[in-house]
Structure 1
Amino acid sequence: MNFVVTGGAGFIGSHIVDALIDSGHRVHVVDNLTTGRRENVNPKAIFHLIDITGDQLGAVFEQAKPDMVIHHAAQIDVQTSMERPLLDAKVNILGTLALLEQCREHKVRKLIYASSAAVYGPPEYLGADEGHPLRPISFYGISKQTPEHYIEIFSHLFGIDYTILRYANVYGIRQDPKGEGGVVSVFVDQLLQGQQTVIFGDGEQTRDFIYVKDIVSANLAAVERGSKGIYNISWNKQTSVNNLLKLMSELCGKPFAPRYMPPRAGDIIHSRLDNTAAKEQLGWEPRVTLRSGLRETIEYYSRLYGSNSSCPPQ
């Protein structure tokens, strides 16, 4: 099968590309390398250094003739969205719309769209299921929610199948602490480089952490299942930022000694997503525990950084 993967040089997208190629598919990667890295791109993939909001996207679709598109190209930093809402909307909303136009024109069978827990905003209940009200409190949450509506209408009007995956807090290998800035990657970077870790707020805010390998398996499941569905991809477990850092400090052999800073605008206090629908309808479930995923991530970056830190045996 022919795939186009946008954001395929990035953290999550590059892992999906690897899995598709391992499964024997032909993959075209679209990425402008704003946050992605060329070295992340599988050498068997066909790489296109372009922006999804530019005028070269049509030529890629002409060449690729994709059966399916997996869309991960995005501006994903909440704080950037609050500071630069026009940029955020251009990439996340107009970029997705441009992609949908190509899907329509080239009769793509299905689109898999990476959405976010940020669309829910402060939860009315935990774990939030797919029927939870959508009340985002950041521009990022708005710019991830809006394409969902476009996708649904394009599907209705032009027959494009889709699956929308709303991710909890994803972490793992290849996440860039300076670019994408997930809390796990930031903590790993600070711990292994001997810097004091920084927590925004009191650290009692909770997140639902999911390892990148489980995100990949959800995307592979959505290739054949989940038609016209929206699914939370999560562990359905809460972990406080304080407890996260304590576990990471233990695995790194470092003391728990954070510096607390004021909370940031656009950040919610608690998050946990119910994943029942994904289990029942995609046949998917998470398999990598937080401890195992953190251990694998820390060991990878320890080797990368040449750090003396090590993880004790499990």
Structure 2
Amino acid sequence: MRVVVVGATGNAGTAVLRALQDTPEVTDIVGIARRLPDPDTAPYAGCTWESVDIAAASDAADAITDLAEIFRGADAVIHLAWLIQPNDQRELLRRVNVEGTRRVAEAVARSGVPQLVVASSVGAYAPDSAREDRGADTIPPLRDESFPVGGIDSSHYSVDKAAQEDVLDQFCAAHPDIAVARLRPGLIFQADAGSEIQRYFLGGAVPVQLLRTGRLPALTVPKGIYLQAVHADDIGRAYAAAVVKRADGAFNVCADDVLGPQELADIVDHGRFLEIPPALVRAALVTAHKSGLVPADVGWLDMGMQVPLLDNTRAKNELGWQPRVTAADALRELLDGMVAGQGLASPPLRPRNSDEQHVAAVGEPAGAGAAAGDGTAAVNPEDGALTEDLLSLYLSDHLTGATAGVNRIERMADDYQDTPVYARLAALADEIRADRELLRNVIDDLGIRRRPYRQAAAWVGERVGRLKLNGRVVERSPMTLLLETELMRSAVAGKLGGWETLREHASELHLDATVYDRLIEAGHRQLATLDEIHEYARTRALRDDRHTYWT
């Protein structure tokens, strides 16, 4: 069987790849993503990879044509692609999540694929009134796939999942000859999703890492909280089973155990919990989200408190599927992954310490301590070659510039997801962030003081610079991308000068010159990429008859 997986690099996608690779009937796997993973690492190795923008910044006709060409000859298409962030770009989310599904389905029909398997969710269901006024000792009833679909109004994720199901209903009516399976899982957990889930939902303000050293006196939970989860590898096996059996229809997929207040407290804490009114938790989350402390909006809480609990009997009976990991163990594994900053070599799942991994991959020693072999700094006033104060000031200034550059490129990658240059911006952000980490390592190895107040000033200055209006108050100016790209070109050119200077003095500083040769080469590639982005922006920025952003 030849199977194509759309959105094959995220939490569910990586698990689906693992499951398909373990399925004897599947002989050929094609992965599709906007930003591609490292194809030499598991589970991405052994797959054919294609980069397609299904809806963020693509024309419908072009996207369907590109997808149909890739789908041709496939026995099944598994559609997993979904945007969760950014919350504040509602139209972008709707376009990718709902219109993107429509385009994938149309491409399936056009290419003659006999089966489409789609990632729906427990979030597609309407609110379950049986969940109201439930305490810690009363579990709500389980619901099968006949429970109404409708979504939770305050949750953009839930509303879009319900709309996606409506798209699939229309597609089934128009193409009764194509089997359409929709899997409705609970929360999907695995250790390798730890960093991703923290970034998407908790952010840096929630100190999950403190669980490494201690526990809370008691876990505070909203009254009536009950969660269902499934391990990523279990949901992966469900998708593989749906393909092999050419399943049709909806399937609830979750572990058998339900996580209530006591179960959550046993996992996260010492078994002690305190139930508080959901309205208080809701108000706190609204404040935290609006202040920028927490990425998740209040819709996620509302969805968790209102959707029905799932009955997974149909998946067991018709797919021959059984959960191998309990929800409790899946949550424990996720928390361990968060604490460890775990992840994989794909853009969505990048681990928290990916910058340090990049430094190691560039080649050690980055600085003097490892090269000298004795842990001493390479800057010695008695050498008479370099002046320590000048070198210290020079590298500190470069680190300040690098901090501002990282902040800018990361914001550009977040803000311009609805442009065709997003993938290049996001890849640049990863490289530039890792370059800053390497510079930090060099400074530490040389025994140079960082002057953190300068980096703090750069952080504040970059954010103040965001307040410029470019003549537009309530919408982005088409000129913004052009100006920010020009600023980034200057920043990368300055960084390149810093690498060239370190390369010039590598022998005096006991540095590995080959490291800086590679960094210089990479800097030129980064400039070339920014030139391409600038070309896109400058043809659109000063006129109103061409799209800069896809709205």
Higher RCO by CA contacts (8 Å cutoff, separation 6 or greater): 1
Q: Which amino acid aligns with 1:21?
A: Q
Distance 1:60 1:229, change over 3 A: closer
Alpha-carbon distance between aligned partners in 1 of 2:120 and 2:317, rounded to the nearest angstrom: 19
Whether the 8 Å CA contact 2:84–2:200 is kept in 1: the answer is yes
Distance 1:280 1:74, change over 3 A: same
Alpha-carbon distance between aligned partners in 2 of 1:49 and 1:284, rounded to the nearest angstrom: 31
Deviation at 1:56, TM superposition (A): 4.7
Distance 1:104 1:193, change over 3 A: farther
Deviation at 1:117, TM superposition (A): 0.8
- The residue aligned with 1:16 is 16
Report the more deviating stretch, 280-289 or 54-63.
54-63
2:281 aligned with 1:244: no
Alpha-carbon distance between aligned partners in 1 of 2:71 and 2:246, rounded to the nearest angstrom: 24
Alpha-carbon distance between aligned partners in 2 of 1:182 and 1:233, rounded to the nearest angstrom: 25
Q: Which amino acid aligns with 1:120?
A: Y
2:226 aligned with 1:206: yes
- The residue aligned with 1:136 is 151
Residue deviations 1:98-136 (CA, integer Å, cap 9, x gap): 101110110111011110111123213431221112232
TM-score, normalising length from structure 1? 0.79
Tell me how large the CA RMSD over aligned residues is: 3.8
Deviation at 1:156, TM superposition (A): 3.2
Report the more deviating stretch, 59-68 or 174-183.
174-183
Residue deviations 1:126-160 (CA, integer Å, cap 9, x gap): 31221112232223212112222322332332322
- The residue aligned with 1:311 is none
2:110 aligned with 1:102: no
- The residue aligned with 2:476 is none
Alpha-carbon distance between aligned partners in 1 of 2:316 and 2:15, rounded to the nearest angstrom: 21
Gaps of 5+ in 2: 131-140, 286-297, 343-350, 352-551
2:167 aligned with 1:162: no
SS in structure 1 at match of 2:128: coil
SS in structure 2 at match of 1:70: strand
2:75 aligned with 1:58: no
Report sequence identity in percent. Answer: 26
- The residue aligned with 1:73 is 81
Gaps of 5+ in 1: 307-314
2:163 aligned with 1:149: no
Q: Which residue, out of 264, 274, 277, partners 2:311?
A: 274
- The residue aligned with 2:98 is 93
Equivalences for residues 150-299 of structure 1 within 5 A: 150-158=167-175, 159-175=177-193, 176-181=196-201, 191-192=211-212, 202=222, 204-225=224-245, 227-240=247-260, 243-249=263-269, 262-263=281-282, 264=285, 265-266=298-299, 267-268=302-303, 269=305, 271-298=308-335
Q: Which amino acid aligns with 1:143?
A: D
Distance 1:2 1:295, change over 3 A: same
Deviation at 1:244, TM superposition (A): 2.0
Which has a greater percent of strand? 1
Deviation at 1:189, TM superposition (A): 5.1
Residue deviations 1:66-102 (CA, integer Å, cap 9, x gap): 221101101246x82xx43312210111000110111
Distance 1:102 1:272, change over 3 A: same
Distance 1:146 1:195, change over 3 A: same
**Stretches (4+) displaced over 6 A:** 193-197
Alpha-carbon distance between aligned partners in 1 of 2:65 and 2:210, rounded to the nearest angstrom: 41
Alpha-carbon distance between aligned partners in 2 of 1:42 and 1:221, rounded to the nearest angstrom: 20
Which has a greater percent of helix? 2
Q: Which amino acid aligns with 1:129?
A: D
Number of matched pairs: 297
Deviation at 1:229, TM superposition (A): 1.2
Whether the 8 Å CA contact 2:256–2:327 is kept in 1: the answer is no
Alpha-carbon distance between aligned partners in 2 of 1:187 and 1:89, rounded to the nearest angstrom: 31
2:4 aligned with 1:4: yes
Report the more deviating stretch, 115-124 or 187-196.
187-196
Deviation at 1:193, TM superposition (A): 8.6
Whether the 8 Å CA contact 2:115–2:246 is kept in 1: the answer is no
TM-score, normalising length from structure 2? 0.47
Deviation at 1:2, TM superposition (A): 1.4
Whether the 8 Å CA contact 1:110–1:162 is kept in 2: the answer is yes
Alpha-carbon distance between aligned partners in 2 of 1:194 and 1:61, rounded to the nearest angstrom: 52
Residue deviations 1:27-81 (CA, integer Å, cap 9, x gap): 1111124xx854675111112232211335533542452221101101246x82x
SS in structure 1 at match of 2:3: strand
Q: Which amino acid aligns with 1:88?
A: L
Deviation at 1:220, TM superposition (A): 1.4
Alpha-carbon distance between aligned partners in 2 of 1:245 and 1:76, rounded to the nearest angstrom: 27
Q: Which amino acid aligns with 1:262?
A: V
